[in-house]
Structure 1
Amino acid sequence: MARRPAGDQIARLGARLAVGLVLLASLLASGCGSDSGPATIADLAPAPDAAADDKGPAILDGCRSGTVHTEAWACVYGDPASEKTVVLWGDSHAMQFTPPLIELADRRGWRLLAMFRGSCLTAEVAYRPACDSWRANALDRIERERPEMVVTATDTGNGYALWQRGVRLTRAASEPLLRQGYARTLRRLKRATGGRTGRVVLLRDLLRAGFRPPDCLLDHPEDLPACDFKGFRKNPPGFDLAAARRVGGVKVVDPSEVVCPAGLCNSARNGIVVYRDTTHISATYAATLAGWLGEQVDSLP
């Protein structure tokens, strides 16, 4: 369980880790020419048997709310005194993009607030009482902050099946309610950013693997391309994208375009383990996305 900080905290340890991840990723990427990385697993970072724990600075700094907490605390990265506040908010599918956002905050002088709760639905619809309270508090906090930009992401898989009148709905029956609820969330975020076009950035949920890529790499230490795979989506196109299409002015950014070009995903690329499990990228790989992500959000210098 994540520890409870005494209010917001200036996340110095994690920020240093993020800088290290960016430097490591740059060195690895510049030294390897193959899209699927080196010939063996010996030089991969992180090591495949440790990839599951490569979750990045947000975990180190305690930015993720524990399951018993409902307070909307945040870690602060970048320039704490900056007049440009950017919020990164969501579940673990948002948290995985902390490394590139920290890099951008450092480059551009943002005050980055990182707010997460694992396995907590950010769509405005009843899910679990503690999660619902945290979501409400987080949305209120974001509205008070009046940020220049909000970056958000959510898991769109089968975990967010809803309940109605004490009966668990199927995931398919939950889908229209999730789309409606997430549209409400995006509208609130848009109002919080002054209604300006492009200031709410939805990072579309990533393509998934049908197996654990690090395990495959361990099983094929001399043949890393054997672990390449065709990514897929559960419940396509995803309630995140469907909701964004209903809400004008939300900028949709699809990381799968670079993580899995043309839908083909590498388990390892340029010396880096890409996926740490079936649905999350490693923090080491995420750090390589800073330049690309910066191009996507150039509306905020």
Structure 2
Amino acid sequence: MLIALTLAISDLSYRYVEQRYRQPRSDTERKPLAYATAAVAVCVMMSGGLGYALDRKDVDISLIGTPNYPGPAALLANASVPRDVQLLPSLGKLRRDVPIVYRLKCHQEQDSTQAVGCQLGDPQGTRTIVVAGDSHAAQWIPAIDKIARDRKWKLVTFTKAACPFTLAAVTDEGKPYEACATWRDNVRAEIRKLRPDLMFTSQSRYSDTPEPAMIDGLRSIWSDLNRTGVRIIAIRNTPFVKFDPGDCLAADADKCVNARQEVETSDVFALAAGALPGVRVVDMNDALCGKDSCSAVVGNIIVWRDHHHMTATYALALAPYLAKAAGL
């Protein structure tokens, strides 16, 4: 049984513990803040020690999975979906429905090269897992954080704008993206120090990088980490819908749908993994789209906050399905 949101972290002072990685304060240190305070980054706790990494205080996550908000169960378990229910999150909060790593400044911008990590999950966990990649990896953090807390694992996240976790060369506006390569090497060094049991990764599409080069780059970095004992869970890229979710839903929700074959991208992870040991490719797109179409809303939860990023709320709803697909 999920319980209401309880704890907050100040947006003004970023009062997370400054250890080796940025992290929210421990449960015993967190105190509720008055709503009159400026915007806050909210850490929501659930019964049984579960939590998730979301960046707002205004979505009642206890609604996820209830009869009114089945979310992905509408696609995967044929759950019934009632009509005339307010969407989750509301349209007014849609664009800021993002993982907390953005507010904590550990999702790095394009000019950054530092391996800045957020420590989430269970800070006392005996096992460590990591997330590494671009914003398409970051969008999965609410689900992965819930998985980690459920299993009492530590989670450290390393994500950077438009920077896939691959040894393949990528570009930024047609020029070599040198900051990405430096950041990737720094993160790889940090992961070696952490010696995690498992790494989750995902990435957007990079049309300027030839597919064979991307495949070789992925295989190389996965093989390198696997030799140090790190298992890889590679999540296939999510679709790029052609509508703006907020504008479309405000105008006519019935028109916020695309043919699935038109918005899915090549499964470069499956091509890269091949027979590599220690690598598991997970395709979650059946939990985002129907057999033939991708809609803005599934089970009364808005799937997309923009053309190609999930809402943090929908990502959280995917946690049990991601865990099962990953064999956890």
How high is the TM-score relative to the length of structure 1? 0.81
Partners of 1:31 and 1:130 in 2: how far apart? Answer: 46
Whether the 8 Å contact between 1:156 and 1:238 is mirrored in structure 2 is no
In structure 1, what is the Cα distance between the partners aligned to 2:247 and 2:290?
A: 22
Tell me, in whole angstroms, the C-alpha distance in 2 between the residues paired with 1:235 and 1:270.
20
Answer whether contact 1:190 1:200 (CA < 8 A) is retained.
yes
Aligned to 1:32: 68
Q: What residue number does 2:239 align with?
A: 207
Conserved? CA contact 2:134–2:165, under 8 Å = yes
Indicate the residue corresponding to 2:78 in structure 1: none
Q: Which residue of 1 aligns with 2:141?
A: 98
Q: Please tell me whether the aligned partners of residues 260 and 291 of structure 2 are also in contact (alpha carbons under 8 angstroms).
A: no
> Residue 171 of structure 1 corresponds to which residue in structure 2?
none
Q: Deviations over 1:73-100 (max 9, x none)?
A: 2111122232200001110000001111
Q: Distance in 1 between matches of 2:154 and 2:267?
A: 30
1:62 and 1:144 map into 2 onto residues whose CA distance is 22
- Report the secondary structure of 1:243's partner residue: helix
Counterpart of 2:24 in structure 1 is 11
List per-residue Cα deviations over 1:204-232 (Å, max 9, x = no partner).
10122122233211111xxx343232234
Say if 2:217 is the partner of 1:181: yes
Range 175-184 or range 42-51, more displaced: 42-51
With 176-185 and 61-70 compared, the bigger mean Cα shift is at: 61-70
1:185 and 1:274, CA in 2 relative to 1: closer, same or farther beyond 3 A? same
Instruction: Quote the offset at 1:69 in angstroms.
Output: 2.1
* Change over 3 Å in CA distance of 1:242–1:14 after alignment to 2: farther
Q: What is the number of residues matched between the two proteins?
A: 276
Checking the alignment, whether the CA contact within 8 Å between 2:243 and 2:256 is kept in structure 1 is no
Going from structure 1 to structure 2, the CA distance change for 1:76 and 1:95 (only over 3 Å counts) comes to same
Are the structure 2 counterparts of residues 235 and 29 from structure 1 closer, same or farther at C-alpha, using a change threshold of 3 Å?
Answer: closer
Is the Cα contact below 8 Å between 1:124 and 1:182 reproduced in 2?
Answer: yes
Match of 2:270 in 1: 241
- d(CA) in 2 for partners of 1:119 and 1:270? 30
Alpha-carbon spacing, 1:29–1:230, altered in 2? closer, same or farther (3 Å): farther
Query: Which is richer in helix?
Result: 1
Aligned residues: percent identity?
26
Q: Counterparts in 2 of 1:159-178, with a 5 A limit?
A: 161-162=208-209, 174-178=210-214
The answer on whether the counterparts of 1:15 and 1:102 sit within 8 Å (CA) in structure 2 is no
Residue 152 of structure 1 and its aligned partner are, at CA, apart by 0.4
1:56, distance to aligned residue in structure 2 (A): 2.0
Residue 208 of structure 1 contacts residue 232 of structure 1 at CA under 8 Å; is this kept in 2?
Answer: no
SS in 2 for 1:152: strand
Is the contact between residue 269 and residue 281 of structure 2 (CA under 8 Å) also seen in structure 1? no
SS in 1 for 2:200: strand
RMSD (Å) for aligned C-alpha atoms: 2.9
Which residue is equivalent to 1:107?
150
Give the whole-Å Cα distance in 2 for the aligned partners of 1:43 and 1:234: 27
Q: Distance in 1 between matches of 2:42 and 2:326?
A: 23
- Show CA shifts across 1:117-138 (max 9, x none): 0111322023311110000111
1:145 aligns with 2:145: no
Amino acid at match of 2:97: D
Cα deviation, residue 236, structure 1: 4.8
Equivalent in 80, 89, 93 of residue 132 of structure 2 = 89
The counterpart of 1:64, out of the listed 104, 107, 112, is 107
Partner of 1:166: none
What is the distance in 2 between the residues matched to 1:181 and 1:236?
18
- Cα distance in 1 for partners of 2:275, 2:204 equals 19
Q: Residues 201, 24 of structure 1: CA spacing in aligned structure 2 closer, same or farther, 3 A cutoff? A: same
Q: Does 1:285 align with 2:314?
A: yes
Gaps of 5+ in 2: 1-12, 26-40, 46-50, 76-80, 171-176
CA distance, structure 1, for counterparts of residue 263 and residue 87 of structure 2: 29
Of structures 1 and 2, the one with the larger relative CO (CA 8 A, separation 6+) is: 1
Of 229, 243, 248, 1:216 maps to 248
Q: Note the C-alpha offset of 1:293.
A: 1.5
Q: Shift of residue 235 of structure 1?
A: 8.8
TM-score (norm 2): 0.75
Distance apart, 1:19 and its partner CA: 4.3
Distance 1:117 1:59 in 2: 10
What is the rounded CA distance, in whole Å, between the counterparts of 2:276 and 2:250 in structure 1? Answer: 43
